[in-house]
Amino acid sequence: MTSISAGLYIRVGMSDWKASTDKEQLRTSGLGSCIGVVIYQRSGALAVMAHILLPACPENQLENTQLRAKFADTSIEDIVHFFHKQNIPSRKLAAKMAGGAQMFAVSSGRENKSIGFRNAEAVKEALQLYSVPLLAEDTGGDKGRTITFDPGSANLYIRKAYGEENAI
């Protein structure tokens, strides 16, 4: 999860996060209600992408290193600590995210917010907790996404189901 891989692009699977340099793009697909978040060094070449499935890690799973990347709270915490181990403080980081679609109809009401909405909110809260500014997002809606991040340009390319594409 925390090693820098070689190649043209690095695929990030569900419940995982990976790091890259400016020569390697990061990509994840299958973002329905999941969130793809990128935390990157603003004036450097290091970036990390996570594919987050759920908002919060249950307390009884906090020490399970195999599950931490699955949850917004523990994934963001681990990524920020990864940057700190590289001597990159939070003030030099920024983030972008996409996903959080409402793939299925849900009841209205606060207690029934879609998992996509709750995932997006949990990522925002965790980023704020670690003082990492969220510079751009493409969340919500009802379409799945594939995202690719280019650390060299800091562009997050988003391809939605049925062909819509944009960059943030």
Residue-level pLDDT, tens digit, the chain, 168 residues:
333 444 488 999 999 999 998 889 999 999 999 999 999 999 888 999 999 999 999 988 888 888 999 999 999 999 999 999 999 999 999 999 999 999 876 655 555 589 999 999 999 999 999 999 999 999 999 999 999 999 999 999 999 988 899 999
Please say whether the dihedral angle defined by the alpha carbons of residues 43, 165, 75 and 119, taken in this order, is positive or negative.
positive
Look at residue 4 in the predicted model and tell me its pLDDT: 40
DSSP the chain: --SBPPSSEEE--TTEEEEE-TTSEEEEEEESSSEEEEEEETTSS-EEEEEE-BS---GGGTT-TTTGGGBHHHHHHHHHHHHHHTT--GGGEEEEEEE----S---SSGGG--HHHHHHHHHHHHHHHTT--EEEEEE-SS--EEEEEETTTTEEEEEEGGG-EEE-
Look at residue 44 in the predicted model and tell me its pLDDT: 80
Look at residue 107 in the predicted model and tell me its pLDDT: 58
| Whole-structure pTM value | 0.90
Look at residue 162 in the predicted model and tell me its pLDDT: 86
The neighbouring-strand residues paired with 158 are 147, 166
Look at residue 80 in the predicted model and tell me its pLDDT: 99
Token pair belonging to 79:
């990524």
Could you give all domains of the chain from N- to C-terminal order, each with its CATH number?
9-167 (3.30.1330.200)
DSSP 4-19: BPPSSEEE--TTEEEE
